Amino acid sequence: MKQPFRKLAEKYGDRIYTFAYYSLRSREEAEDVTQEVLVRLWQHVEEIDPGKLAAWVMSVTRNAVIDAARRRQTKSAVIAEGVSVDAVEAVAISSNPGADHALHAAELRNALERALAAIDEPHRSIIVMREIQGMSYADIAHTLDMPLASVKVYLHRSRKKLREMLRGKV
């Protein structure tokens, strides 16, 4: 049992941590959330349909992030306020191979973080799950308990809003 669970922990650990870190903006809280979700996965792995495992993990992660934000006594739960620095730097390097690529990457990252922070829920969670986490539409729909068509509409609107917000800034 330990070997298959180790593979699951390796497969989902980074995804859990990334979502939690960019939601809570705290390494310590992200590590706590990751540990909490992995413990829940350990406890319930036998009960989860293998085809729905990714959606289950992200749903539990999202709920754990909300709980952590509430524990911090914030006015509203913060769900995914950032983007993957590595992904942003890769885009910046590929689009601007000059010597100032690090500056361009930092500017792009900051613009994306501000734009994502300005988008309301569930738009923000949907765009992070799809564009940053790479989740399927079906997994997002299952995670957020929404109809598939609604997820697609929200994602389309979120992308459009991000394009408008980023136009001329990057």
Dump pLDDT digits (tens) for 103-157.
Answer: 666 777 778 777 877 888 888 888 888 888 888 898 889 888 899 999 999 999 9
CB atoms closer than 10 angstroms to residue 9: 16
**What's the CA gap between 170 and 92, in Å, rounded?**
10
Domain count across the chain: 2
**What's the CA gap between 40 and 24, in Å, rounded?**
20
Three-state secondary structure call for residue 66: helix
Residue corresponding to tokens 């349909």: 49
Looking at 8-17, 35-44, 54-63, 75-84, which range is the least confident one? 75-84
Q: Is residue 78, in this structure, part of any structural domain at all?
A: no
Question: What average pLDDT does the segment 1-13 reach?
Answer: 82
CA Rg, the chain, in Å?
Answer: 17
Of residues 75 and 87, more confidently modeled: 87
Of residues 89 and 43, more confidently modeled: 43
Q: Is residue 7, in this structure, part of any structural domain at all?
A: yes
Residue 123 and residue 59 share a domain: no
Q: If you ran DSSP here, which 8-state letter would residue 1 be given?
A: -
CATH number at residue 145: 1.10.10.10
pLDDT at position 40? 95
Residue 102 and residue 153 share a domain: yes
Residue 66 and residue 92 share a domain: no
The reported pTM is: 0.60
Residue 150 and residue 99 share a domain: yes
Residue corresponding to tokens 């389309």: 156
Q: At what angle do helices 2-24 and 53-71 cross, to 10 degrees?
A: 50
pLDDT at position 106? 73
Domain limits at 54? 2-71
Q: Is residue 76, in this structure, part of any structural domain at all?
A: no
pLDDT at position 13? 93
Of 25, 45, 71, the position where a domain reaches its end is 71
Q: Is residue 141, in this structure, part of any structural domain at all?
A: yes
Residue 117 and residue 48 share a domain: no
Which amino acid appears at position 35 of this protein?
A: Q
CATH number at residue 18: 1.10.1740.10
**Closest among 160, 72, 86, 75 to 123, alpha carbons compared:** 160
Peptide bond into 147 cis (omega under 30): no
Residue 91 and residue 67 share a domain: no
Q: How confident is the model at residue 81 (pLDDT cuts 50, 70, 90)?
A: very low
